[in-house]
Homo-oligomer: A and B are copies of this chain.
Amino acid sequence: MRDVYIIGIGITTFTRLEYPLSEIAAYASMGALKDAGVDKVDYVLVANMGSARINSQSALGSALVDSLSLTPAGAARIENGPASGASAIKDGFMAVASGMHDTVLVAGAERMREVNNLEATDFVATLTHPMAEYIYGVTLPGHAAMFTRLYMAKYGVTERHLAMVAVKNQNNALLNPNAHLHQEISLAGILDSPEAFTNNPWVAEPIRFFDCCPVSDGGAALILASKEVAQASGRPMIRISGIGQATDTLAVHERDEPTDLMAVRLAAQQAYDMAGIKPKDVDVAELHDAFTILEIAESEEVGFFEKGKGHIALEKGETAIGGRIPINPSGGLKGKGHPVGATGVAQVHEIVTQLRGDAGERQVKKARTGLACNFGGFGNNVIVSTYVREA
């Protein structure tokens, strides 16, 4: 298997964007192409969840190739719910690793402004079990609320821990110019003050408004390349060292222990084995905090902390920038935003930025090894990938 490097990255601001979906993908991609110093690629993969439903556009891969004048490069769209981005990275990795292609553009994009928040919730719920969950009105906030309640009962997580994730990530986002939310928050403001309930109402008890990521538009892109192309580019040599992927039952109630995220655990183990590293070797991580509880649970399942102890590490500041293992320095989905198809790509955009030492005020010092966890469905399709800076 050939080694695969990331030689270019690009991103749009995550916010409410005026321009069409294919242009969101195109602007992010133009940044990545410029960063890599290339104007042609061999293959294009676009990660996106809702184009046909929300944006009346299919075959987004062809549209992106056309927008960027990358014809005749082949292209396709990858849709894997919220894990679409990492799925596209995985298939792009295999394209280079196999020798089929030398350069691959992996772009992720979503334009959700066509849907209001209720419609967005219904749209995202299309990833639940069609007969055992969706038809009964289960939503992702509903799933997260039930998961949170079980986690509280079993491991002693409190509302305060959830709020600490929100405060950490949303305030990290203040240091990220591309993040959606640039509003400083505090425990006092969202939990402890007389106005807290008004500021931060229930969405699905015990989950509050500030426990949920925003609905964002945005795009992110990477250029993957063979070792020869990477060396010739003169860009920092950031290698994709491991990729693991695992699925779990689609219906959450069918899992033996619903507080275990087996797909995260398995995907992480596969990625570590492929990379030949251990969790303690990771310097910086982007985890999929669509809801605050998920950052805590994932930080345990990827092996940073013992099961049930993630909230203790959080309390101690171990996951803050400057802590033992900084999580979501970008702001995460919570602060940076969650344009669904872009998210998995944007996580890796941040990891590459960190490993290059280009993260400015949110830089994690001496970061050489990074990890991203892209979480599809309610933990039913998860991709964990690891990255190492070689030079």
Contacts and interface: CB of A to CB of B under 8 A. Distances in A.
Given A62-B81, A126-B52, A380-B66, A247 B75 contact: yes
Contacts of A134: 56-57
Interface string A43-85: 1000001101101111111110110001111111111110110
Contacts of A98: 1-2, 93-94, 97-99
What is the copy number of this chain in the assembly? 2
Contacts of A296: none
B381 A74 contact: yes
A1 B100 contact: yes
Given A53-B52, A126-B52, A87 B95 contact: no
B100 A94 contact: yes
25 contacts: A49-B52, A50-B58, A52-B123, A56-B130, A56-B134, A58-B79, A59-B380, A62-B380, A62-B381, A63-B129, A65-B381, A66-B247, A66-B380, A70-B247, A71-B246, A71-B249, A74-B90, A74-B247, A75-B247, A75-B381, A76-B84, A76-B90, A76-B91, A77-B79, A100-B243
Interface of A: 1-2, 20, 22, 43, 49-50, 52-53, 55-63, 65-66, 70-81, 83-84, 87, 90-91, 93-95, 97-100, 123-124, 126-127, 129-131, 134, 243, 245-251, 262-263, 266-267, 376-377, 380-381, 383
